[in-house]
Amino acid sequence: MSRFAAPIAEQIWDMKYRLKDAEGRPLDATLEETWQRIAKALAAVEAEPAVWEPRFQAALQDFRFLPAGRVTAGAGTERSVTLFNCFVMGTVPDNMGGIFENLKEAALTMQQGGGIGYDFSTIRPKGAVVKGVAADASGPLSFMDVWDSMCRTIMSAGSRRGAMMATLRCDHPDIEAFIDAKKDANRLRMFNLSVLVTDAFMAAVKDNGPWDLRFGGQVYRTLAARDLWNKIMRSTYEVAEPGVIFIDRINRMNNLWYAETISATNPCGEQPLPPYGACLLGSINLARLVNDPFGPKAALDRQALDDLTRTAVRMMDNVVDASRFPLPQQEAEAKAKRRIGLGVTGLADALLMTGLRYGSDEAAKQTEVWLHAMARAAYLASVDLAREKGAFPLFEAEPFLASGNMAGMDEDVREAIRQHGIRNALLTSIAPTGTISLYAGNVSSGIEPVFAYAYTRKVLQKDGSRTEEEVVDYAVQMWRDLKGDAPLPAHFVNAQTLPPLDHVKMQAAAQKWVDSSISKTINCPEDISFDDFKDVYMAAWDMGCKGCTTYRPNAVTGSVLSVEAPKEQDLSQPLDRPQALEGQTYKVKWPGSEHALYITLNDIITDGRRQPFEVFINSKNMEHFAWTVGLTRMISAVFRRGGDVSFVVEELKAVFDPRGGAWMEGRYIPSILAAIGGVIEQHLIHIGFIPGEGLGLKSDPKALAPKPGQACENCGSHDLRMVEGCMTCGSCGFSKCG
């Protein structure tokens, strides 16, 4: 009988986690061999590997402990990959040489599959004087554009999907431009953005006081704190970014407050990290630990939770020694502090199985109880490891115990740490688990509510075709297996029907026993009022959360999930060409090129609407001849099929030249092809085919009309949804966060 609870689980294992040779032939014959590979690799660093390998394998059985995808795919493969998920890069110096040295380090980290975070608050604001060169500074956002281009280039070279987080302090003079950056749908697409919000700023917001924007000891201007807060709120209400990180709270609660200062997080926000900080992730699958699910004695097996947590901590501590690192600074940081991020998945399913409604006071209390038990087990396991193998090198008992987090820890745990030390500086984190949750049978993600009881997912087959399969939530499937066609109980709720403040309540309950942070999306209805939306963020602050990420469907970000795709019309036959067409010719002078490009776009009128019909690209540069002719023919062929062809703009503007792009009219253009895409976009705006810059949609060329919302970069569908702080495609599973 298959170990997999759902067909999608086996497909994900085969496509993402199963070890294969260079030709794609499987080396892991079965799922058990995958588990054995991981267990053997993590036990290899032990003094007695033969003792620990079977224990580690037992923890992996039945998807009870789920190491993050990086560990599952990479452990024991002998490949030059990192097993760490999260990196925050070094502090960006305010000089050109240092900035581009950091860019190189980011590229090296992303090549090995690491998601990275950066604080750009150290770069002087736009317009500030640059001494010695008689110039004004271009500001942090201009350099973020360069990082964004680098990430696209790494992706286009076939590396793992890029993911980056950019933060900026709430008192930086460029904060308003940072807040508005994502309103341009084509800008900073490889970044998640978050504002570093301080305690002083929140006090000023509540008091309706003034707020200084400053850099280098100089006050650039003063504005009303509440106005700036409303600007943040308005942007995230409209385009779902930026997020909010309560940075002073993070540093105050940090166990390592005495040894580091945090100013950035990894891409999904669950790991606030210092410069060159690194962390690995793993999750306890609570849905697999419920005894008598839906029965009169339904309860989480607390002993199983304790045992599994202790084993997981040891396995993750071993990853620190087994992993490679992109940069030596990251390895030194990881081994000096031995940070791990053990979390949970399947929380909502476990609550359903035990008869609790997600978001209720009872569910919040139960969540706190379960995570308290897990935190105790994790910290005591790390104390035992310290007795056996030594505490982390930067451990100092009294400062460690004086942190905001440890002040609330049980006294017996504090005393054990005081006497014996602790192996890992931080131990718990709630990470995004979208893919591994599907792999584990579609258990609910992280501490999120069930997203949907069932939905249809497009699955890529080995022959390149796509099939549609029903994906059923793990708890819902268990109910069906036990109860047949009986209606779901009243306590079943999902993300679409849950009030936003119930989300906040659950996040706050979990945060009490999570020493790092939480990747959590608070779903808000599209018709929520702006004032009610702001209340969500203020509630997150008042309840003790370390950050807040919301998702409200709208015309820019799209809806959460398409249930049924529209029927397609047969557009196999191209439109007939009239004898005469109207059009325009545009000149593009690429910097450094001797000859200009001349781009002619001709239009046709169909159903009263003007749309592009053909394109001609000409240049006197003979080195351009072959590719311009090829591009002319391909784009014209697409245009002549009719329908929504705006995806051509998206495809061209996404092309990045690894040799570097160029600045044109004050804007960085990543390649000459991207420049051509920009010309086509401007023409489409001119003829009224698309409403404005950045509003062209990448979609199936057979589609008859633009669909609402953002399209998936991988498959073009409009099934995007925000899950645990990262936009994820419900059709193909693509997420820039991995």
Residues serving a catalytic function are: 266, 268, 270
Closest to 732 measured CA to CA, from 16, 70, 111? 16
Q: Contact at 8 Å (CB) between 101 and 146?
A: no
DSSP 376-409: HHHHHHHHHHHHHH---TT--HHHHHTSHHHHTS
Contact at 8 Å (CB) between 144 and 241? no
C-beta of residue 342 within 8 angstroms of C-beta of residue 68: no
Taking each helix axis from N to C end, the angle separating 49-60 and 31-43, rounded to the nearest 10 degrees, works out to 140
φ, ψ at 347 (rounded to 5°): -60, -50
The residues, ordered by sequence, that sit 6+ positions from 576 with a Cβ below 8 Å of its Cβ are none
Phi, psi of 180 (to 5 degrees): -85, -5
479: enclosing H helix or E strand: helix 474-483
> Helix, strand, or coil here: 470?
strand
Gap between the Cα atoms of 724 and 734, Å rounded: 14
Provide the residue type at 235 as one letter: S
- What six digits make up the tokens of 185? 């749908």
Question: Residue 398 class from Cβ within 10 Å (0-12 exposed, 13-18 middle, 19+ buried)?
Answer: exposed
Q: Which residues make Cβ contacts (< 8 Å) with residue 605, sequence separation at least 6?
A: none
Terminal alpha carbon distance of the chain: 30
Runs of H (alpha helix) within 512-613: 530-542
The residue behind tokens 């745990």 is 413
Q: Residue 535 — φ and ψ, nearest 5°? A: -60, -30
Q: Report the alpha-carbon distance of residue 85 to residue 40 in Å, rounded.
A: 20
Q: CA angle 564-568-574, nearest 5°? A: 160
Residues 231, 241: contact at Cβ < 8 Å?
A: no
| Closest to 318 (Cα-Cα) out of 336, 337, 340 | 340
Burial class (CB in 10 A: 0-12, 13-18, 19+), 705: exposed
Token pair 């993600």 is found at 445
Complete DSSP assignment for 193-209: EEEEE-HHHHHHHHHT-
Token couple for 118 = 């950066």
**In sequence order, what are the residues at sequence separation of 6 or more whose Cβ sits closer than 8 angstroms to the Cβ of residue 215?**
124, 125, 128, 172, 173
CA distance 264 to 88: 7
Would you say 368 and 513 are in contact if contact means Cβ atoms under 8 Å apart?
Answer: yes
Rounded-to-10 torsion of CA 146, 150, 151, 156: 140
From the CB of residue 239, how many other CB atoms can be counted at a distance below 10 Å? 21
Q: Helices (DSSP H) in 497-616: which residue ranges?
A: 500-511, 530-542
- Residue spans of alpha helices (H) in 124-170: 140-156
